[in-house]
Amino acid sequence: MKEKAYFVCTNCGYESLQWFGRCPKCGEWNSASEIKAKISKQNRAVVLSLREAKKSAETINRLSTGFTELDAALGGGILPGQVILLGGEPGVGKSTLALEICNQFSRNGLETLYVAAEESVDQIAIRSQRLFHDDPEKIMVCSENDLEQVVDLLNHNYSLLIIDSLQTMYSPQVGTYPGSILQIRTCAEKIIERCKELSIPSIIIAHITKSGEISGPKLVEHLVDTVVYFEGERNTELRVLRIMKNRFGPSGEVAIFEMTEDGLKQVINPAFYDTEDQLPGNCLTCAVEGSRTFVVQVQALVSRTKSAVPRRVSNGFEMTRLLLLLAVIGRHMHLPIESHDVYVNILGGLKITDPGIDAAVVGALLSSMLDKRIGGMSLIGEVSLDGSLKHVHRLKSRIEAIRKVGISSIIIPRTAELKEEDIQKISSVRELGRVLGVT
Ligand code: TYD
Ligand code: MG
């Protein structure tokens, strides 16, 4: 094995073969730390025919997490050697989920190693008492944050490794404190290398702050096979697992959970709407996240501002998109919405990334501003800068989902190639205003 030295900025992770006094990327002084990487020389590169590779891939079994929704979102379960980064804010339920997955493995007779670097073994035992009544004989727990010791512990007996959490792991070979970018990267690299060697799947837990500020977990995203983010507000029970990246299945998939008194329960058909008498400021639509459709209710409150800078608050809908929609309403509908305080909320606590709900957000804003009910009407479409309504993907499934909840009056973009009697087509937000009777 050959050793190669390079320098990494302990502040931002910048790499260079030469020493630097000041990091050219982040500007930090004296942040260069020397890393000695071992380069193993493999004897010979292996060439396989794709047909052979395909055959051997077909024989590999995916392991179940115990949650059918999560298995489906991962593309059928966990593969041997798969490295999953599980990110989320503190308190969202990452440790709970990891322990429940261990329990499922244990039920199937598979031994797992849970490295509780931030909690004591007793704390894990108390949590397991709360979560399940099975005998957790096959769940091995170790409260250790020295990475070298954990790597030494790993062997073929284990079918899953949990690292809880990456930020508390510590490699004595790296001279910085746990949680530093260099520690995070080194620990992740070593865990991944060992798990791949032994073909043990692993779930590496990482904390993320509310604004997603911590760059540590982001820095290791390219090293892992799958990146999963656990989202949810502390004051609601709803939890959403979002697959951000997946080398072994589709990305963008979601699985919905509920945090209950005795653990996480998957929610098969979540309802994020209320079809009862709709007051002004509400609008129903259907969002697509991954391969799933969700009927959602957009709520808006538009009120005359009393301050120099109007307030904009958005829950579950991206702020930059909201600002764009407000500008479109102001410019193309000639409404003074920019001088109003605006609050937008997606009912149920779901975060929607799909722009196909734009038309419904505009609908809810107009409905609130002009105090008019939209009633049992649903709007689908993406709004573009010129005020036109753009076609959205999976339109048919969206319409189907909306009809299932008993709404028959649906508005879609004119460009859609769909001809159905009870569906109205419009081309712009201006026309939307006319149809809703607000402009
Ligand atoms: P936890 O898994 O510790 O979160 P994380 O590892 O992401 O920091 O769980 C956090 C919260 O979940 C905690 O406030 C208690 C609550 N909880 C339940 O509501 N039900 C349960 O069965 C468990 C184990 C926890
Ligand atoms: Mg935890």
- Is residue 123 located within the same domain as residue 162? yes
The answer to whether residues 85 and 10 belong to one domain is no
Ligand 2: distance of its center to the CA of 155 in Å? 24
Percent over 70 (pLDDT), the chain:
95
Taking residue 71's Cβ as centre, other Cβ atoms within 10 Å add up to 20
Range among 49-53, 212-216, 408-412 rated most confident: 408-412
Number of residues written out for the chain: 439
pLDDT in tens, 271-298: 888 877 688 999 999 999 988 999 999 9
Q: Is the pLDDT confidence value at 1 over 70?
A: no
For residues 210 and 108, state if they share a domain. Answer: yes
Task: Calculate how far, in angstroms, residue 243's C-alpha sits from the geometric centre of ligand 2.
Answer: 19
Same domain, 99 and 209: yes
Long-range contacts of 60-63 (CB under 8 A, 24+ apart): 63/105, 63/108, 63/110, 63/159, 63/160, 63/201
- Does 347 lie in the same domain as 259? no
Q: In angstroms, what is the span from residue 97 Cα to ligand 2's centroid?
A: 9
Residue 80 has pLDDT above 70, yes or no: yes
Rounded to an integer, what distance in angstroms lies between the CA atom of residue 284 and that of residue 294?
10
**Is there a single domain that holds both residue 293 and residue 359?**
yes
- Out of 238, 266, 294, a domain closes at 266
Question: Do 286 and 400 belong to one domain?
Answer: yes
- Residue 276 is assigned to a structural domain of this protein: no
How many angstroms separate the alpha carbon of residue 31 from the centre of ligand 1? 37
Mutation test residue for ligand 1: of 259, 261, 266, the one with most atoms within 8 Å of CB:
259
Closest CA to 4 of 12, 13, 16, 14: 16
Domain end: 223, 240, 266, which one?
266
Q: Is residue 56 part of a domain?
A: no
Q: How confident is the model at residue 38 (pLDDT cuts 50, 70, 90)?
A: low
Claim to verify: residue 18 and residue 117 sit in the same structural domain: no
Residues 213 and 315 both lie in one domain: no
Strand 2-9 and strand 139-142: the pairing is unpaired
345/119 Cα distance (integer angstroms) = 36
- In ligand 1, the atom with minimum distance to the C-alpha of 237 is 19
In a domain, 69, yes or no: yes
Q: Which residues line ligand 1 at a C-beta cut-off of 6 Å? A: 88, 90-96, 127, 130-131, 259, 261-263
**215 falls in which pLDDT band (50, 70, 90)?**
low
How many structural domains comprise the chain? 3
pLDDT of residue 211: 61
Residue 180: pLDDT band with limits 50, 70, 90: confident
321 and 422 both lie in a single domain: yes
> Do 261 and 287 share a domain, yes or no?
no
Residue closest by Cα to atom 21 of ligand 1:
263
243 and 341: one domain?
A: no
- The domain that holds 421 is classified in CATH as 3.30.230.10
Q: Residue 109 sits in which domain range?
A: 61-266
pLDDT per residue as tens digits for the range 117-130 = 889 999 999 999 99
Q: Which residues pair with 412 in a beta bridge?
A: 425
The pick from 85, 94, 96, 209 for probing ligand 1's pocket by mutation, whose C-beta has the most ligand atoms within 8 angstroms, reads 96
379 phi-psi bin (left φ>0, alpha ψ -120 to 50, beta other): beta
What pLDDT is attached to residue 329?
96
**What local confidence, expressed as pLDDT, does residue 118 receive?**
87
Ligand nearest to the CA of 130: 1
| Closest atom of ligand 1 relative to the 230 alpha carbon | 7
Query: Which bound ligand lies closest to the C-alpha atom of 98?
Result: 1
Q: Give the pLDDT confidence of 136-167 residue by residue, as tens digits.
A: 889 999 999 999 999 999 999 999 999 999 99
Parallel, antiparallel or unpaired: strands 340-346 and 292-304: antiparallel
| CA of 99, closest atom in ligand 1 | 2
Of 270 and 410, the one with more pLDDT = 410
Residue 277 in domain: no
Q: Which of 216-220, 309-313, 353-357 has the lowest mean pLDDT?
A: 216-220
Residue that is last in its domain, among 266, 290, 315: 266
Record the tokens describing residue 239, joined without a space: 């939890």
3-state secondary structure labels for all residues of the chain: CEEEEEEEECCCCCEECCCCCECCCCCCECCEEEEEEEECCCCCCCCCCHHHHHHHHHCCCCECCCCHHHHHHCCCCECCCCEEEEEECCCCCHHHHHHHHHHHHHHCCCEEEEEECCCCHHHHHHHHHHHCCCCCCCEEEECCCEHHHHHHHCCCCEEEEEEECHHHCECCCCCCCCCCHHHHHHHHHHHHHHHHHHCCCEEEEEECCCCCCCCHHHHHCCCCCEEEEEECCCCCCEEEEEEEEECCCCCCCEEEEEEECCEEEECCCCCECCCCCCCCCEEEEEEEECCEEEEEEEEEEEEECCCCCCCEEEECECHHHHHHHHHHHHHHCCCCHHHEEEEEEEHHHCCECCHHHHHHHHHHHHHHHCCCCCCCEEECCEECCCCEEECCCCHHHHHHHHHHCCCCEEEEECCCCCCCCCEEEECEHHHHHHHHCCC
- The CA 89 to ligand 1 mean position distance, Å, reads 11
Surrounding ion ligand 2 within 5 Å at CB are 95
- Given the CA of residue 90, which atom of ligand 1 is nearest to it? 8
Q: Is residue 131 part of a domain?
A: yes
Least trusted range by pLDDT, from 43-57, 102-116, 148-162: 43-57
Residue nearest to atom 9 of ligand 1 (CA): 93
Distance from the alpha carbon of residue 96 to the mean position of ligand 1, in angstroms: 6
* pTM for the predicted model, two decimal places: 0.84
Average pLDDT across the chain, whole number: 89
